[in-house]
Amino acid sequence: MNAGDVDLILQVAAREPSIARVLREICALEGGVRAMALDLVAARAGDHPLRAELLECVAALGRDEVARRIAEVLGPPTA
């Protein structure tokens, strides 16, 4: 996943508040906790038609630099 892909994720988040909310929560987690949460998401992917793309996004969100960039743009989770 490259910077353009991260930009695409951010564009989708800008249009869909529920995705932005989940990304804020995930990206605010400490790296180890984020990795465990993302493992659960990956395990639930099952045979979803977009499984490969979902797993690519999950892997990217596990990287600190990606999570940090998304968190910078979306801001902290809201109460």
Domain that holds residue 39: 3-74
Answer for the pair 19, 70: CB distance below 8 angstroms, yes or no: no
pLDDT tens digit at each of 79 positions of the chain: 677 878 888 998 899 999 999 999 999 999 999 999 999 989 988 888 888 888 888 899 999 999 999 999 999 998 7
For 76, half-sphere exposure in the C-beta direction (CA atoms, 13 angstrom radius) is 2
Domain contains 79: no
pTM for this model (two decimals): 0.83
| Token reading at 66 | 């990606």
Domain contains 32: yes
The amino acid that residue 60 corresponds to is: A
pLDDT for res 75: 93
Instruction: Look at residue 67 and give its three-state secondary structure.
Output: helix
Structural domains counted in the chain: 1
Domain contains 34: yes
